[in-house]
A and B are shown apart, each in its own frame.
Chain A
Amino acid sequence: MIERSERKPYWRHTKWQLVASLVPFLTALIVMPIYGVELNSNKFLGFPLGFFMVGHGMLLIALFTVSSFVNRQDAVDRWHGANEDA
């Protein structure tokens, strides 16, 4: 079980993890469609790049973001002794 003195550092660390996960993801979510026309002049796997990024690309970025969040937050939990097995 987590020590009482570890609670504040744990929550601070968790908040940083939130920022590190959501800020790049939300930036990509908002910025990519805006440049859809420009990106479409390139191609990737035969797709117009803008179309690919807003569909397949967003899915890949979302998968990477959640998976890395699960992994890193698990490490944060263990580091501070807040994990479920403790």
Chain B
Amino acid sequence: MVGWVSLACRARLVMAVSNPGTRLVNRRLGAYFGIFASLFVAVFALALIFSQLGFEADVISKATLLAPVALYLALGAACATAKPEDFLFAGRRVPAVYTGAAMGLSALGGIGLVSGTGLLYLHGFDAWAILSGMTAGFVVMAVLFAPYVRKFGAPTMPSFFGRRLDSRFVRLATAAVFAVPLILLLIAELRLGIWVAREMTGFNERWVLAGLVGTIAGCTVLGGMRGRTWSATAQVIACLGGVVVAAGVAGIIMTNLPIAQMSYGPVLRGIGNQEAALAISEAQVAPLAFNLAGAGLAAPVGRMAEPFASMGVASFILTMLTMMAGIAAAPWLLVSCGATPGVHAARKSLSWAVLFAGLIMITASAMAVFFRDTVMTAIVGQSAGALPDWFNALAAKELARVTSNVPSLPISAIAVHRDAVLFALPAALDLPEILTNLLYAAALAAVLAATANTALALGLIVSEDVIGGLRWAPPSGVLRLSIGRLATLLALFLAAAAAQTLATDPLQLFLWAIGISASTAFPLAVMCIWEKRLTASAAGIGLLAGFGTAIAGIVIGTPLLDGMAQPALAALGLPVAFVVMIVLAQISGTPSRAAIEFVRDMRIPGGETIYDREMRLLRLKAKAESN
């Protein structure tokens, strides 16, 4: 009997190794994450009980911050590994649903959730340019890039481009160029994370930053991609659970239905009727105008459901397309495809990414609408001396202000901090404070998922493509992992130092990062996969032209064209890079036979992962030489 079982296990193992589509997936994953979800619920249920028993709110806030963080750290520690295939690709055993969930939350990040809700409250319809553009990015990623990046299976995107074009120059150039959006994104998420954790607990900024860096390091340095993927899955559960529960409770109060995402329509139309009664302007701004609120106090602009009050029609479409291109080819997201068991799973993971990111977005939109309705009914038309307590509490923390002393306040006189909208809703609806803590925990989970993903992507680019970029054969397993861990730590510390000193709006940094990604990674990825005749020189020059134009757009264009479509300014490099690559590909001769064979192999889903095969052959060659 034992013999039969052993034989069956061996047969299954051989099948899994020979067929990448059926790699062994841990069947207990559901149970593990069920346990995490139960613990997360238990923490907040206990916090609710203790708050009803009269425990100090401050203690409960700190406990609800620290308990989930301890769980993420425990997961990160449990995923510690000394195997390169686990550190770089999570063993290529992550099912599509988990990859998609982690990718969706990493793309959205704290900025998509926290600033996105604020933008939806302040600008209504116009804010969808950013959020819907992100969803569209996943669609384009699934169709244009994900299957081919997975078939190659490189640990970083510069490795993919360098090997595809058989050029170490391209590998180093892409590593240098991609580091810029990665650093911007890392700083942006860390700045938002500091703000969220400080608002939640009142801890000193240095302690908060040290805690964030320690948590991210714990989730990435020990386990690499494995630790990052599994801790991000737990963060998806925390984030989705937090926003869905808070929105559900708010939905019951506002619409009598717990499915706030689908039931807030009548509330939105009610806001429209109030806006019409108050004669709020329906005017549209110039086609290229772009007046989204920065990090600070701002009043809503125009009518909530009507388009183009703060962003012109051309600006709206350009912003959406920029977001789409930037997310579709994002070097920090595409590498996650390498963790899936095969090409089919990589494609499928993008369906899950759309679902998870989209669910969070429409939940955020429901909360923005509920908050706007509360402001319209409780504050608009009142005098400055008769404001509700929750608004005065926000004003005391400098997160809200009334900018007029007229007896009947208009909506344009009620300024709220963009990033405080999400957390202000439970208090505005007179709900228990534990729901505010739940939303803080959700936002922190989103920040941690995005930051860990970006830090690991940057660390691996530095270790694989900069330090080890001059030769294809990687160093020995131990040295390779040590360099990877050190580079990730270094990237985190540098970004933390920059986040402490730079005072730029996180959303602005995020939009620049996406714009640079759209200007550089998108044209290069399209050309590398879909144009067989692309040469290394055409790709390298096109990449640098796109990057230069994007930087010029940001540095020169932003101050000159204040109020214009800023994300699109960073994406000006996209057409430039395409034109340069297409023209140079025509005149720079034919690529090598090896490069053409590589493209042919990459386009076929079946067969062994190219990177794994090349590493195996390199190992065999080294072994033969040593003998």
Using a CB–CB distance below 8 Å, which chain A residues touch chain B?
A: 1-2, 7, 10-11, 14, 18, 21-22, 25-26, 29-30, 33-34, 36-37, 40, 43-48, 50-52, 54-56, 58-59, 62-63, 65-67, 69-70, 73-74, 77, 81-86
Contacts and interface: CB of A to CB of B under 8 A. Distances in A.
Given A34-B313, A46-B269, A55 B362 contact: yes
Interface stretch (B188-196, B540-548, B603-611): B603-611
A16 to B, nearest CB: 12
Chain B interface, DSSP helix/strand/loop, else mixed: helix
A57 to B, nearest CB: 9
B125 A54 contact: yes
B324 A29 contact: yes
Contacts of A65: 139
B144 interface: yes
B316 interface: yes
A70 B607 contact: no
Given A14-B603, A58-B132, A62-B138, 20 more contacts: A22-B139, A22-B143, A22-B144, A33-B307, A34-B317, A36-B307, A40-B307, A43-B265, A43-B269, A44-B265, A47-B269, A54-B132, A55-B131, A55-B132, A55-B361, A59-B132, A63-B354, A70-B142, A70-B351, A85-B19
B138 A59 contact: no
A36 to B, nearest CB: 4
23 contacts: A7-B600, A10-B604, A22-B143, A29-B132, A29-B136, A33-B128, A36-B308, A45-B262, A48-B268, A51-B124, A54-B307, A55-B365, A58-B136, A62-B139, A62-B358, A66-B354, A69-B142, A74-B347, A77-B605, A84-B21, A84-B343, A84-B606, A85-B22
A84 B125 contact: no
Nearest to B359: A59
Contact of A62 (B124, B136, B320, B343): B136
B280 to A, nearest CB: 15
A83 B348 CA distance: 14
A45 B21 CA distance: 41
A59 B350 contact: no
Nearest to A29: B136
A58 B135 contact: yes
B603 A11 contact: yes
Nearest to A21: B143
Chain A interface, DSSP helix/strand/loop, else mixed: helix
Contacts of B607: 1
Contacts of A82: 604-606
B548 to A, nearest CB: 27
B317 A56 contact: no
A30 B354 contact: no
Contacts of A81: 606
Contacts of A51: 124-125, 268, 305
B72 to A, nearest CB: 28
Contact of B351 (A11, A58, A67, A84): A67
Contacts of A77: 344, 605-606
A48 B269 contact: yes
Nearest to A56: B362
Contacts of A30: 317, 320-321
B552 interface: no
Contacts of B350: 66
A45 to B, nearest CB: 5
B582 interface: no
A22 B325 CA distance: 13
B562 interface: no
A14 B135 CA distance: 23
A59 B143 contact: no
B84 interface: no
B474 interface: no
A7 B140 CA distance: 23
Nearest to B131: A55
A50 B305 contact: yes
Nearest to A36: B307
Contacts of A43: 265, 269
Contact of A33 (B320, B361, B605): B320
Nearest to A14: B603
Q: Give the interface centre of A18, A48, A82 by most chain B CB atoms within 10 Å.
A: A48
Contact of B606 (A25, A54, A86): A86
Contacts of B261: 56
A29 B129 CA distance: 10
Contacts of B575: none
B320 A29 contact: yes
A47 B265 contact: yes
B342 A48 contact: no
B272 interface: yes
Nearest to A28: B136
A45 B135 contact: no
Nearest to A6: B604
B313 A33 contact: yes
A58 B138 contact: no
A26 to B, nearest CB: 8
Given A11-B603, A69-B142, A59 B268 contact: no
Contacts of A40: 305-307
Interface string B1-34: 0000000000000000001111000000000000
Given A45-B262, A59-B354, A83-B606, A25 B320 contact: no
A42 to B, nearest CB: 11
Contacts of B272: 48
Contacts of A18: 143-144
